[in-house]
Amino acid sequence: MGDIVAQRLSRRSVLAGLAAAAGTAITSPWPRALAHGSSLTFQEIPQGGGPDHAVAPGYRADVLLRWGDPVLPGAPAFDPRAMSVDGQRMQFGYNADYVAYLPLPRWSTSPEHGLLFVNHEYTNRELMWPGLQAWDATTEAQARIEMAAHGASIVEVRKEAGRWRAVPDGILNRRLTALDTLVHVSGPAAGHARMRTKADPTGRTVVGTLNNCAGGTTPWGTVLTCEENFDLYFAGDPARTSEPDRFRRYGIGEKLLYSWHLNDSRFDIEAEPNEPNRFGWVVEYDPYFPDVPPVKRTALGRFKHEGATTVISADGRLAVYSGDDDEFDYLYRFVSDRPVDPENRLANHDLLDRGTLSVARFNADGTMDWLPLVYGQNGLDRSNGFARQADVLIETRRAADVLGATPMDRPEDVETNPRTGRVYVMLTINRERSEARIDAANPRADNRFGHILELAPPGDGPVRDHSADQYRWDVFILAGDPSEAGHGARYHPDVSKDGWLTNPDNCAFDLRGRLWISTDQDTDQYDRGVSDGIYACDTTGPGRALTRFFYRGPIGAECPGLCFTPDGRTLFCAVQHPAEGSTLAAPATRWPDFAEGMPPRPSVVAITKEDGGEIGS
């Protein structure tokens, strides 16, 4: 296997693979920069860490929305000493993650007036209340505030005189929470016996959505928000249930971060063994029609979803890419049965309920196969404990195990380049991979730094066959410090001492097809002395894989949600868990307020160029 990996990472192999995938000649996978080098013209900022954020010269980074800011009419001003459940239900939630910009008026391309949809993944109680540590139990009131701080915020925003501002009384402003938002269930698993509970004997209505991480938008203007680490919310001993192994495959019972079960039996698997089956889905929500309930689309499978990136395939059908963010888990793709109807928005309202979910198997020869997760095929039947398609979807991970998919190094965000049609997969970290378990797509044991894969569906240019059974693939970047031989890092050879990165997490593409990468080192950033932030690079031409450091977050934070406006002149960025790894008694930073008595506040930042130009150019 070591020889195969070496071959896959050789320059000749990468060249051959990408040239075949693109159908065009490529002079070199990591070409030496010409005189003009990268197409990105910003001055790179130095790596390092500190209490404040920083952005490249010539740009400004304005804090737009902070935890506790008013979202709904009547919301109280934020007061960390007087938090309440009712207040938090009307205020901006905690730990902003995925960010989507939806223009106003609806279905326009307005770049200066729109809605921001922002996920609120989880809460850091040690930075919300004095005297608490990260794993401490909360009171009933604190637990309910945490539930209200989860979910999503939808906020109207405007750009006026070059600066963005929130509109706190916007008529489309809404909060989705883990506390009381009713979410419908659709698709093959809706109503299944394993989706039914005492409170919902129909198995078709769930209270709340939680641990909402990355997401996506659809061509018809809805948002897909993804439920990720739902296992952290459920208490109980799997051995005392009828499905212990199936709980363990999702990590349920291994680690408990929240104490909600003390006041709500839904989160006790011994009292409500089916409740965990109702989380781990992709949730569709229409911000333009805010009173229509969100819907859990079960045809897209149940796992720790990171992202739900959509792209229209060459035949008009919709493909949705998603990673399962755990060590040794998988990359998935859903393809709708019907094509998208661009002329009739309502015709697409149930498009995501019917289609084929597949899981990826990466081959050492540079090809990859999509293995359909379809009941009755390839062992997905009663012989392996699957009685119908609903079982395959409720136990997506186990179904993928049966098919022999490739276990990955924590697949996170997946995005498609609008210029080339190639697909990029962020792989963040896997310290558990041994030498015996390396493979061509995951070529390093003890992968502490992560890497990025580049997938090429059949075709050439932006419109490709995203429904094909087989793609080609290659390694785009092996992250880490290229000056440290032990890291085994691979970039463009001219990457600077500040341009290399670790732990790629989320990403976005600008109008020119350049890749913008956010990083997530967790608390390793304290040891490394490098705060997380945003890097950018070309994916083609002389600056291919020449990453450059653009924005640095405050210490302890990551910057997961990247989103450009339609004109490319604003980059919205979520700043999640500033000061994580410290406590409220002695926070590593009080960003963004820097006021005594104020806690660090997860926020959304609007980055613009001081001359009003396009970001990166």
Span 80-89, average pLDDT:
98
Span 289-301, average pLDDT:
97
Give the residue among 462, 409, 414 at the shortest CA–CA distance from 437.
Answer: 409
> Is residue 49 domain-resident?
yes
Decide if 206 contacts 297 (C-beta within 8 A). Answer: no
pLDDT for position 8: 55
pLDDT for position 242: 86
pLDDT for position 13: 38
Q: Is the confidence at residue 193, as pLDDT, over 90? A: yes
> Is residue 236 domain-resident?
no
Q: How many domains does the chain have?
A: 1
Range of the domain at 57: 2-228+280-609
Q: Is the confidence at residue 457, as pLDDT, over 50? A: yes
pLDDT for position 7: 56
pLDDT in tens, 458-482: 999 999 999 999 999 999 999 999 9
Distance, CA of 504 to CA of 424 (rounded, Å): 11
Report percent pLDDT > 90 for the chain: 93
> Is residue 251 domain-resident?
no
Phi then psi for residue 96, to 5 deg, are -60, 135
- Indicate the pLDDT class of residue 5, thresholds 50, 70 and 90: low
Distance, CA of 499 to CA of 180 (rounded, Å): 44
β 355-362/331-339 pair status: antiparallel
Span 130-141, average pLDDT:
95
pLDDT in tens, 551-609: 999 999 999 999 999 999 999 999 999 999 999 999 999 999 999 999 999 999 999 99
- Indicate the pLDDT class of residue 218, thresholds 50, 70 and 90: very high
pLDDT for position 243: 86
Report percent pLDDT > 70 for the chain: 94
Distance, CA of 502 to CA of 392 (rounded, Å): 35
pLDDT in tens, 239-284: 999 889 999 999 999 999 999 999 999 999 999 999 999 999 999 9
pLDDT in tens, 316-325: 999 999 999 9
> Is residue 616 domain-resident?
no
What CATH number corresponds to the domain at position 517?
2.120.10.30
> Is residue 187 domain-resident?
yes
Decide if 90 contacts 71 (C-beta within 8 A). Answer: yes
- Indicate the pLDDT class of residue 409, thresholds 50, 70 and 90: very high
Other beta carbons within 10 angstroms of residue 308's beta carbon come to 28
Distance, CA of 495 to CA of 47 (rounded, Å): 13
Distance, CA of 558 to CA of 588 (rounded, Å): 14
pLDDT for position 3: 54
Decide if 134 contacts 122 (C-beta within 8 A). Answer: no
Burial 480-493 (b: 16+ CB within 10 A, else e): bbbeeeebbbbbbe
Span 200-215, average pLDDT:
98
Give the residue among 405, 397, 408, 402 at the shortest CA–CA distance from 327.
Answer: 408
Specify the pTM: 0.95
Q: Is the confidence at residue 34, as pLDDT, over 80? A: no
Distance, CA of 326 to CA of 544 (rounded, Å): 29
- Indicate the pLDDT class of residue 12, thresholds 50, 70 and 90: very low
Cα distances (Å, whole numbers) of residue 498 to 47, 119, 493, 495, 535: 5, 30, 13, 8, 10
pLDDT for position 302: 98
> Is residue 408 domain-resident?
yes
> Is residue 235 domain-resident?
no
Q: Is the confidence at residue 26, as pLDDT, over 50? A: no
> Is residue 243 domain-resident?
no
